[in-house]
Chains A and B, each alone.
Chain A
Amino acid sequence: MIKITTPVDEKLIKSLRAGDVVHITGVIYTGRDAAHKRLCELLKRGESLPIDVKDAVIYYVGPTPAKPGRAIGSAGPTSSYRMDPYAEPLLKEGLKVMVGKGSRGEEFKQLLKKYGAVYLSAIGGAAASISETVKKCEVVTYEDLGAEAIHRLEVEDFYAIVTYDSVGGDLFEQGVAKYKRI
């Protein structure tokens, strides 16, 4: 297991390999389809972003409403491929880590090589456990989007698995090749 703190260390990110288990501690931002669309529109217009994405971690999640006394509701990852079209503008701004679930496009994998970034998976459906690692949660912007607003999370030992690394490693391909018998 490898510990990662935010803002992330570029060298450490580049040293990660598909299949490594990591624990993230620090600040991560949430965003799904609608928030990504707005961030990319800002960049297109040459405006600055409401969050600093340099060396940052973005987690694709739309949590349930928090029960009283809890920092956040259940908060597992959503499918990442839907965010592929928005990846490059944010990588250009220095984004280094994206966390979600499921496979993504070939072009996206090439972008990770180009920008020295990684794609991690959280365990889909393990949303209650994940919520335990979130210590604080506040809305940064786009409150009108509800569960899809951009939130700033303070996390401790957030469990994730390196899925695509910055040198072309792909855990899905490697793992399936190893166990395929048909």
Chain B
Amino acid sequence: MRKIELADVTAKVRSMFIDACENIPANVLERLKRAEREEQSPLGKEVIGKIIENDELAADKRLPVCQDTGVAVVMLTIGSEVVFEGDIYEAVNEGVRQAYTEGYLRKSVVKHPLDRVNTKDNTPAIVHVKIVPGDIFKVDVAPKGGGSENMSTVKMLIPADGVEGIKKLVLDTVFKAGGKPCPPVIVGIGIGGNFEKCALMAKEALFREIDDRSPDPIAAKLEDELLEEINKLGVGPMGFGGTVTCLAVKVNVFPCHIASLPVAINIQCHAARHKSCTL
């Protein structure tokens, strides 16, 4: 058995959120630089240039990359040989509370979806837990902005819709979203499972590294084809028209019912903030 101190979890979550908000991952920045070279619209090129300039300035001066420092999404991977005393959710929320109140981040969470009073510390976080064998304790965090989250969708397709149906749904979703989710975007897709499982898979897909590829050959093929087709939509950087609408497509899959083909699409803006660490 390996003991984890919840105070360490809180401290880690605090520093990871501040760090994530100020520093775009190096591989995302690299991908943006490639997009700047490849973009054919002169205005689109200029816009990506401004995004890169912003991300470098933010890192340099330790400022949040975007004013929407999001809802705090936390994925915990906990080994079955790990023990801790107390409330792990509260430990995570305390880290979020400290990051947002002490780290000059915007508080964007309301306590009730209908009376809409701000909680003033960006809690509660959305926490997902996965139990695995061994003694690992891994924390992944992502501040997720509202602009891109609002453009996401879940749809229960039927098996007859197949790959073509999925592609149509993805292309429609990205095209209709236009400039609203701050393109160039990353598209996370969950296929299979059931209603709630596919939504979670779409989010998990966005936690993957921007330059990885699905180990599943069918999913990997779909990632390549969708990336190419989305970039033919012409939406372009910030929706002003162009050849780079999407930086990467991530497809996660899971077994499903013989009658179902659940599909979820989670859109991530160019401010793809994500940090990962193992305690």
Listed in ascending order, the chain A residues whose CB lies under 8 Å from chain B are: 19, 21, 61-67, 70, 73-76, 78-79, 81, 101-103, 121, 123-132, 146-147, 159, 161, 163, 171-172, 174-182
Q: How far is the CB of A57 from chain B (nearest CB, A)?
A: 18
Of B179, B234, B271, the contact of A179 (CB 8 Å cutoff): B234
For B66, the chain A residues whose CB sits under 8 A away are 74, 76, 124-125, 127
Q: Encode B26-48 as 1/0 by CB contact (under 8 A) with A.
A: 00000000000000110110110
A80 and chain B: residue at smallest CB distance: B180
Of B46, B63, B106, the contact of A67 (CB 8 Å cutoff): B63
For A62, the chain B residues whose CB sits under 8 A away are 67-68, 106
CA distance A150 to B107 in the complex (A): 17
CA distance A78 to B43 in the complex (A): 20
CA distance A151 to B61 in the complex (A): 24
Indicate if the CB atoms of A127 and B229 lie closer than 8 Å.
no
For A159, the chain B residues whose CB sits under 8 A away are 50
Indicate if the CB atoms of B106 and A124 lie closer than 8 Å.
no
Indicate if the CB atoms of B234 and A126 lie closer than 8 Å.
no
CA distance A121 to B62 in the complex (A): 25
Indicate if the CB atoms of B241 and A103 lie closer than 8 Å.
no
CA distance A132 to B67 in the complex (A): 13
Indicate if the CB atoms of A103 and B239 lie closer than 8 Å.
yes
For B182, the chain A residues whose CB sits under 8 A away are 101, 124-125
Q: Encode B162-190 as 1/0 by CB contact (under 8 A) with A.
A: 00000000010000001110100000000
For A61, the chain B residues whose CB sits under 8 A away are 67
Indicate if the CB atoms of A63 and B106 lie closer than 8 Å.
yes
In the complex, whether B89 has a CB less than 8 A from a CB of chain A is no
**Which residues 172-217 in B have Cβ within 8 Å of A in the complex?**
178-180, 182
Indicate if the CB atoms of B269 and A124 lie closer than 8 Å.
yes
Indicate if the CB atoms of B106 and A64 lie closer than 8 Å.
yes
In the complex, whether B118 has a CB less than 8 A from a CB of chain A is yes
3 A-B pairs with least C-beta separation: A175-B241, A180-B234, A179-B234
Indicate if the CB atoms of A147 and B106 lie closer than 8 Å.
yes
Indicate if the CB atoms of B61 and A128 lie closer than 8 Å.
yes
Indicate if the CB atoms of A180 and B232 lie closer than 8 Å.
yes
In the complex, whether B243 has a CB less than 8 A from a CB of chain A is yes
In the complex, whether B254 has a CB less than 8 A from a CB of chain A is no
A124 and chain B: residue at smallest CB distance: B182
Of A131, A147, A178, the contact of B63 (CB 8 Å cutoff): A131
A178 and chain B: residue at smallest CB distance: B241
Indicate if the CB atoms of B147 and A79 lie closer than 8 Å.
yes
For A19, the chain B residues whose CB sits under 8 A away are 43, 240
Other A-B pairs beyond A70-B63, A159-B50, 19, CB < 8 Å: A61-B67, A64-B104, A67-B62, A73-B106, A78-B147, A102-B179, A121-B238, A123-B51, A123-B54, A125-B51, A125-B182, A127-B58, A127-B63, A132-B57, A172-B240, A175-B43, A176-B233, A179-B241, A182-B229
Indicate if the CB atoms of A172 and B178 lie closer than 8 Å.
yes
Residue with the highest number of chain A CB atoms closer than 10 Å, among B40, B235, B269? B235
Indicate if the CB atoms of B232 and A125 lie closer than 8 Å.
no
In the complex, whether B69 has a CB less than 8 A from a CB of chain A is yes
Indicate if the CB atoms of B64 and A73 lie closer than 8 Å.
yes
